[in-house]
Structure 1
Amino acid sequence: MSSILTNNSAMVALQTLKSVNSNLQKTQGEISTGKSVATARDNSAVWAISKVMESDVKGFKGIADSLSLGESTVAVARNAAETVTDLLTEIKGKVVAAQEENVDRAKIQTDIVALRDQISSVVNAAQFNGLNLVKGTDDVNILSSLERSGDGTVTAANITVARQDLTTTAGTYGNGDSLAGNITSSAASIDSTGAANDLELTFAGSATDNLVVTLNGTTFTQAFDTDAATTVGALRSQINQAGLTGIAAGGSGAVLELANTNSFDNFAVSWDSGSTNTVAVTNNGNSADDATAATGTGNATLVYRAEEVVLSNAAKVNEGDSYRITVNGNDYDYIAGKGENMADVARGLKTAIDNGAETGVSTRVVQDATTDEWKVLVDYDGSDATAGATMSLSDAGQEGGVASGGLFGLDNIDATTDAGADAALDNIETLIQNSIDSAAAFGSAEGRIETQSNFVSKLMDSLKAGIGTLVDADMEEASARLQALQVQQQLATQSLSIANQAPQNILALFR
């Protein structure tokens, strides 16, 4: 049936043409924009994903800038620490030269002061955009990544760079809770005569007994002479005439009193009277190892003259923990910095005492081979006429201080005297190690930042590629589809034209 009111063929042709035109418009849009998903209308899910990823790319561009800034800042600090290490090494050379007595120590000290001032200049100038990593103790966070969880939550990740304080500040002693339990002095005073740690051997032998005493491998043998007192007196003379450094044999009657006045060197002692229970032993201080009873034979250790300030190896060291050794009424403090331990505290206290003005006082830091505890050994040689034969010794500790600088003690290095040159040689090693540790820490941080920067660059490339896969148009396919749709458009237009001509054929029926 034909109708002049309803042209089904034209409607079909028109719908086909509309469909072709719509596809053609979409294809032309892909070609002009280069995207298959240009708006949320094209594919809302894919468009949403792509926009999230594009925001991440934008964020990572900012992170790349942050990493570049952080890397430059750390590089400046590393170069400063390396320069300080070189300058400290030069100071060490000057200090070594000052060990000789026939050199001009005043000129050497002038060179040391110039190098010290240069170190201060380097530390103060080592900033990048106002941030100096070799001053202070607060850590610095460098934005390194964005972490997106499955629920869409985004958190920032940081690379933490620890400041390495290379200043010479003394710090501020704390006023918080007591840390007295972490530091213990072996005595309340330092006796320059060594009497505090001497060993008394009381001989009660008979005519058949010889008395043999060995000191650090040197053996003294005395045959019984008249009585015990005469025998001990003769042995006493033998020991004193041998001229053993720092060893004095004293006492009276049948008592042989052995004292060690060496600052930091122990002496081994053994004895043999030839019979049982003929030597009574009296131990003063901590000089005896196993001489605990009257016996014919035995051995002990004559401990060095210096007194010990023992630091607990069970205690954790926190930033601001303040420790003090008081010698002759004068306080010498060290305040721990971030990440330090008892070894650092011991060396800091030694430096503080060495920088003081105590005549005849010398120090050494040792670690106990048995307990692993760190000890500051403090010795007094009796040369201070005002103090006399002994100097008082005490200790203290409190929380809540302001940390000493990593080069604490550098300002007080004095190579103009024998004692100063000796102390400087030991202390400069600590300062060099501190600067080396600082440079190494900055080097590790710089390497990590560089690695993260390279990763972020590659990550951005991967994200961009992923976004392209989601939304970019396949131009080869779009070109082929465009040509096909153009042909379809022409055919649809021709079909519509033919369909529109169909009612004209009805006119023929009325002619």
Structure 2
Amino acid sequence: MTSIITNTAAMAALQTLRSIDQSMENTQNRVSSGYRVQTAADNAAYWSIATTMRSDNKALSGVEDALGLGAAKTDTAYTAMNSSINVVMEIKAKLVAAREPGVDKDKINKELTELKNQLNSIAQSASFSGENWMYNDSTTAVGTKEMVGSFVRNANGTVSIQTLEFDASKSILIDSKNANRGLLTVGVTVTQPSGTTTTTATYYLINPSATTTATGTEVKISSATTDDNLEGMIMAVDTTLKNMTDAAATLGAVNSRISLQKDFVQSLTDVIDKGVGRLVDADMNEESTRLKALQTQQQLGIQALSIANGNAQNLLQLFR
């Protein structure tokens, strides 16, 4: 039946054209935004996963910054410790030279004084972001330092922060409030020669402050210093050097761990970005092909609607 009231063909063509226009709009949005899943309406499950993972990635970016700060602190401490080791090695060499008969020990002591001043300067200047793991002027002992290491999302959805730890009390060179807490201020007890026998003696390199006295005898020499005492000082300095080397090795290990963790976090961030991309990114080759097909369908739909509307005009021929 042909009716001028209800144009069934035009209605069908119009409905098809509307569907094509809607598909074209969606495809154009994907092409312009680059996303296949841009809102929750596109795919609620994928959108939810992608949003959560993007949030975790931002947290990992913060972890990466924190690791950079931790690396800077350990680098500063290691550099100071390594420089101090070189100075203590020089002190040890000066003491060995002073053992030579006929050497002017008073002049060597002046060199020792300057070397110890250098150690003090290194310890006090080894500060980064307000933290100094080489020098302590507080009555409270320096404790374990924590550095943000990772951001973890558990299987049940809960999140937590994992940290890297370093016991800074083992790297303190000078403690102005308690001499026993500093590698350079603590008294080192050795067994030194005493004529034909031996005796115990305690030596320290640096007296921490005017108000705090270290235990034992300071490593300083004069023309009256005996060879036995010199040998005891050399033993004490050598022990101090070993302790500083151990502290430097620990700092190096922590720094290496931070570097490895930072590389891992960077790789993990990239992997998460790729995973999110697989879920929500649009395939531009596929979308461009679909857009071309929809443009063709749209043209055909417009033509079909034009034909359907033209059928009503043909009825006029019957009344002429």
Instruction: Using structure 2 for the length normalisation, give the TM-score.
Output: 0.83
Identity of aligned residues (%): 37
Q: State the 1:94 CA deviation.
A: 1.5
Indicate if the aligned counterparts of 1:414 and 1:421 stay in contact, CA closer than 8 A.
no
Structure 2 distance, partners of 1:483, 1:433, is 75
Indicate if the aligned counterparts of 2:188 and 2:236 stay in contact, CA closer than 8 A.
no
Structure 2 distance, partners of 1:491, 1:20, is 10
Structure 1 distance, partners of 2:292, 2:65, is 46
Q: State the 1:6 CA deviation.
A: 2.5
Structure 1 distance, partners of 2:108, 2:250, is 32
Number of the residue aligned with 1:413? 219
Indicate if the aligned counterparts of 1:415 and 1:424 stay in contact, CA closer than 8 A.
no
Number of the residue aligned with 2:287? 478
Indicate if the aligned counterparts of 1:168 and 1:409 stay in contact, CA closer than 8 A.
no
Structure 2 distance, partners of 1:159, 1:34, is 39
Number of the residue aligned with 2:306? 497
Structure 2 distance, partners of 1:125, 1:510, is 106
Number of the residue aligned with 2:106? 106
For 1:253-264, list aligned pairs within 5 A: none
Q: State the 1:3 CA deviation.
A: 2.6
Structure 1 distance, partners of 2:304, 2:19, is 14
Q: State the 1:413 CA deviation.
A: 0.9
Number of the residue aligned with 1:161? 166
Number of the residue aligned with 2:91? 91
Structure 2 distance, partners of 1:461, 1:105, is 63
Q: State the 1:471 CA deviation.
A: 1.2
Structure 1 distance, partners of 2:216, 2:162, is 38
Q: Deviations over 1:369-407 (max 9, x none)?
A: xxxxxxxxxxxxxxxxxxxxxxxxxxxxxxxxxxxxxxx
Q: Deviations over 1:100-133 (max 9, x none)?
A: 4532222222211111111110011111122112
CA spacing shift, 1:335–1:464, aligned 2, 3 Å: closer
Number of the residue aligned with 1:363? 200
For 1:92-171, list aligned pairs within 5 A: 92-136=92-136, 137-163=142-168, 164-167=171-174, 169=176, 171=178
Q: State the 1:335 CA deviation.
A: 6.6
Number of the residue aligned with 1:25? 25
Number of the residue aligned with 2:245? 436
Q: Deviations over 1:268-313 (max 9, x none)?
A: xxxxxxxxxxxxxxxxxxxxxxxxxxxxxxxxxxxxxxxxxxxxxx
Q: State the 1:484 CA deviation.
A: 0.4
CA spacing shift, 1:2–1:170, aligned 2, 3 Å: closer
Indicate if the aligned counterparts of 2:175 and 2:182 stay in contact, CA closer than 8 A.
no
**Greater relative CO, 1 or 2 (CA 8 Å, sep 6+):** 2
Number of the residue aligned with 1:13? 13
Indicate if the aligned counterparts of 1:145 and 1:158 stay in contact, CA closer than 8 A.
yes
Structure 2 distance, partners of 1:458, 1:500, is 61
Q: State the 1:336 CA deviation.
A: 9.8
Q: State the 1:89 CA deviation.
A: 0.7
Note if 1:454 corresponds to 2:263. Answer: yes
CA spacing shift, 1:96–1:168, aligned 2, 3 Å: farther
Structure 2 distance, partners of 1:122, 1:37, is 57
Structure 1 distance, partners of 2:303, 2:258, is 67
Question: Which residue of 178, 189, 206 maps to 1:350?
Answer: 189
Structure 1 distance, partners of 2:143, 2:263, is 27
Number of the residue aligned with 2:211? none
Structure 2 distance, partners of 1:158, 1:335, is 25
Number of the residue aligned with 1:398? none
Indicate if the aligned counterparts of 1:60 and 1:145 stay in contact, CA closer than 8 A.
yes
Indicate if the aligned counterparts of 2:81 and 2:244 stay in contact, CA closer than 8 A.
yes
Q: Deviations over 1:121-180 (max 9, x none)?
A: 0011111122112235322211121101122211111111221111155728xxxxxxxx
Q: Deviations over 1:72-104 (max 9, x none)?
A: 221111111111111111111111223345322
Number of the residue aligned with 1:79? 79
SS at match of 1:3: coil
Q: Gaps spanning 5+ residues in structure 1: where?
A: 173-333, 338-346, 355-359, 366-407
More helix by share: 2
Indicate if the aligned counterparts of 1:91 and 1:115 stay in contact, CA closer than 8 A.
yes
Structure 1 distance, partners of 2:215, 2:84, is 15
Structure 1 distance, partners of 2:215, 2:27, is 77
Runs of 4+ in 1 over 6 A off after TM superposition: 408-411
**Alpha-carbon RMSD:** 2.7
For 1:140-289, list aligned pairs within 5 A: 140-163=145-168, 164-167=171-174, 169=176, 171=178
Larger Rg: 1
SS at match of 1:350: strand
Q: Deviations over 1:398-455 (max 9, x none)?
A: xxxxxxxxxx779811333125323211211111011111111111111111111111
Instruction: Using structure 1 for the length normalisation, give the TM-score.
Output: 0.53
Structure 2 distance, partners of 1:169, 1:350, is 20
Structure 1 distance, partners of 2:104, 2:132, is 38
SS at match of 1:123: helix
CA spacing shift, 1:170–1:486, aligned 2, 3 Å: closer
Matching residue's letter, 1:42: D
Indicate if the aligned counterparts of 2:109 and 2:220 stay in contact, CA closer than 8 A.
yes
Structure 2 distance, partners of 1:442, 1:411, is 29
Q: Gaps spanning 5+ residues in structure 2: where?
A: 137-141, 203-213
Structure 2 distance, partners of 1:150, 1:47, is 19
Matching residue's letter, 2:257: R
Q: State the 1:52 CA deviation.
A: 1.2
